[in-house]
Structure 1
Amino acid sequence: MINAYSETIIEPYLYSCANIVTDVNDKFLDLTEYVLSELVGKSIKEVGSMLNFNLKSLEDKINNNYSGYIFTKFLNALEVDISISHGSETNSKLYTFVEKPNSRLNDKLIFVEQMFVDNTSGVAVYSIPDLILLKANQKYLNFTYSNYNKQENSIGKPISEVITGFIGTPAEVICNSVLISQKASYIKEFEFDNITKGKTYWDSTQTPIFDNGKMKYIFHTAVEVTQRVLKNQNIENQNKIINHQNDCHEHEIKSNIYMKEALKSQGEFLVNISHELKTPLNIIFATAQLFNVYCKSGSLDDNKDSIIKYIDSIKQNSYRLSKMINNIVDLSKIETGFLKLNLSNNNIVKFVEDIVMSVTNFTDSKGLNIIFDTNTEEKVIACDQEKIERVVLNLISNAIKFSNAGNEILVNINDKDEFVEISVSDNGIGIEKKNLDMIFDRFKQIDKSLSRNAEGTGIGLSLVKSIVKLHGGTITVESEYGKGSKFTVSLPSGKVSKENKIYNSELHAKDQSIRVELSDVYS
C-alpha cells in the first residue's frame, strides 16, 4: 500500500515498509536507471547495495540526512542529498533523493572524456575527501586484483578496497600529499606486484580537479611501462657483465657505458617530451570537438561564457607548445653551433628589474611575493637581451613551480666589477643534494620524486646553462631540501664596440614572452 504522504512528494523517492521496498516514483526510476520490477519487493539493504550506498546505516545519522554519492544501474555517479521521514504506517519510511545541481561528472571532465573511451591509458576519478572511485576505464581496473577488475565490483568502492595493499604504501603517501598540497603528484616506474601477473611498472599521475575554487576530485592516470623498465634493467645488467669481463679495457668499456646511458637518457627525454606535447594537444583537440558540437546544435550564443573560457584554455596550451618547441629548436641550434648571439650594450640592472616588475601580477595571483634588489643602480654589459630575458624568466618560472602560496622569491643584482651576478632565490621545497649534479643535464629530469608541482620537459635549465655559457658566463645552484634554492648567473662585465641590437624593448611583446615562458605554471 502506498503511503498517502508520498503522493505529495515531487522529488525522487523510495518508500519502504518493514524494510521492504513497496513503492518508488517515476523520478526515482529516471534518476537511477532501474525499472520498477528490479526494486519493488527488495529489502532496503539489497537496494542500498544496488546503489552502492548503505541505506540502512542512514537511519543512524543525525537528523537522518546524508550528502554524498549513489550509483545508477549503469554505474554513473550521482551526488545527492538523501533524507528519511517516517510514514503513517508502522515501520514505514520515505527516502527522498535530491540530486545536487550541476554535479554530473561527465560535465566536469569534458576535456578528458576521450581518455576513458580510448582505453590506451588507465584513468580514474576519485571523490574528495573520502576517495570513492566514481569512474574508471578497463585499462585502470586491470591494474587491480581480480576481485575489482570489473566496474560492477569496483565503482563506488573506496581506494583502500580497489587497490589492494593501498594502506601504508607509497601510493597512499602520494595520495595524501595531493590532498594536503592540492597540487598534482607524479611517480615514475611505480612497482606493482600482482598475484596473477607478477611485477609490473607504471608511470602514474594524480591531479586535483577544482570546482568553484574547492578541490572536488582526484584524476588518476596510470600508464604501464613494464617493457621499458625491463629493457633498461637488461641494459644495466649487460653493462655490469661487460665491466666485469673487460677490466683490461676499462677506458673502452666506460665509453660504451657512457654512450648507452646517453641513448637511454635521450629515450627517456623522448618519452617525457611526447607526454608533455600530448597533454596540451589533447586539450586543444577536445575543445575543438566541443566547439563543433556547439556549432552543429546552434548553441554558440547560449554557451558564450564557456566558449570564452575554452578559448583561454586553447591560448594557454598553445603557449605551452610554443615554449617546448622553442626550447627544443634552440637546444639543437646550440648543439650544432648555429645559435648566434645578438650582443648589445645594456643596463642589466634596469633590464632585469623591468622583467621582475612585469611578472608581479602573475606572482600576486599565486600568492607569492617577488622582490627585486641590487647593490648598484647601473651596470652596462654586453648581452643578447632576448636570450637573457628567457634565462631570467626560466629561473623565475622554476622558483614559482617549487614555491607555495605565502613564499617569497628574491631576484638580486650584485656588481662584482669584473662580472655581474643575477641571482633568483626562493624558500620553496628545495632540491635534494643527490640531484644537484644532474639538474643542468640536457636530457635529465628529476621525475622520481614523489611530487611535481607543475608540468615541464626537463630541458629548461639545460637551455639556460647553454645560453649563459655562450655569453662567457657560468650558472651555479645552492639548495637545501625543504628550505629553498638559489640559482646564480655570472656574466662578464665587458662591452662590445659594434652592437647588433635587433631586440627593441619598447616594441618587444613582453606580455607574450611571459605567457610563453611561464606557460607550464600559468593558470
Structure 2
Amino acid sequence: MGHNIQNSTDEARKKVLREFENLNMALFHNHPDAIYMLDLEGRFLMVNEVVCQVSGVGRELLLGSSFEPLIHLKYRASTIESFEMAIRESPQRYETAVITPEGIKYLDVTNFPFRSGDQVLAVFGIAKDITEKRQKEVELREQKALLEVVHEEVEIFRKVIAHDLRKPVANALGFARLLKEGVLAADEETEAKCLLLGTVEALDTMVRDLNKVMALRSKGEMAQEKVEVLKAVSELLISFESEINNIKASISVHVDPGLHLLTVKAYFYSILRNLIANALKYHAQGHLPEITIKAWPREGSKLAISVGDNGIGMDMEAVADRLFKMHTRFAPHMAEGSGLGLYIVNQQVKLLNGTVTVSSEPGIGSEFTVCLPLN
C-alpha cells in the first residue's frame, strides 16, 4: 500500500515538472521579447523566434554562433563586458545595439547566470527592442535643439530691432525736424529730402527682411536668398553717408562684382552694418579715418569679408574674453551705445554657421573678419 502511494506521488511530481517545463517552453517561444540562452563562450544555445526577427538571422545560423558579430561596433566592448560580468557576478541590465538588414536596432538587455548549484552553466537573457523609443528620444532632442535655435533667433531679432533700427530712425527724425523748421537753404533742403527718402527706404528694407526671416522661421524654414556682396556693401555705405562725410573718412572697397553667397540677407546686412558702424564710431583723433572693406572666397566653399580701420584699436589680451559679451563697451568716451553691436554680430555669425575673428592693436586699428558658408 505504501509503495503504491509513493509511486502515485512520484508520478504526480513528474507530471507537475512536465507541465512546468511545458509552461516554460510556451513562455520561451511566445514571449513578446527576444529570449535566448548563451554558453560561457557567448554562443547561442537556445533562441526564440523574436531573436530571429530582431537580428534578421535564422535559427539555424544563430544556434552555435557567437553573439558578438551581431553587436554594433560602438557597443561591442561594453556588451561583452556585461556578458562576462553576468557569468562572474550577478544579473546585468544594459543597452546595446545590433546590426540587422533593416538597419541598427537598439535593445534593453537583461542577462543573468543559469546555475546548477554553485556552478554557472550558461547565461540566460531577455532583450527588449527599444528602437522606436530611441528614435522618439532623438526626435525630441532634435526638436528641443530646434526650439533653442528659434528662441535664440527671436532674442536676436528683438535685439536687432532695439539696436540696428535705432540709427535709421534717429537719422530720419533728424532730417524731418530740419525740414519742418525751415532753416535749410534750397539746395540743402533738396539734399535733406533725398537723405530722408534714402533713410526711410533703407529702414523699410530692414523691416521687410527681418519680417521675412521670422515668417519663414515660424514655418521651420530658413530665409536664405542670393546676396550680392558688393551691392550689400554699397547700399550700407550709402546709409552711412552723413557719418562718413562728418569725419571725412576714406573708404576703400575691394570686392569682386561677381561675388555672392546664399544666406539670410537680414543677418548678413546686420553683421556688416554693425562692423562698419564701429569702424566709423571708434576713429582715432589726429588723422583722417581710413576704412577698408574686403571680401574674397576661401577654401571649403567659404566667403571671408573683413572690415578694417586705423582707429583707436584695442588691447586684445585685455578684452578678448569679453569682446562679444552683451552690454560690453570698450570706449564709452568715444560714442554713445548700448554695447550690443558686437554681441549681435557674434550671435548672427553663429546662426549662419560662420566664424568671426579679430586683430587689433591700440593706436593702430582693428580688423574684423567674418567667414561664412557660400551656401
TM range (shorter): 0.3 to 0.5
TM-score (norm 1): 0.30
Q: Which has the larger radius of gyration?
A: 2
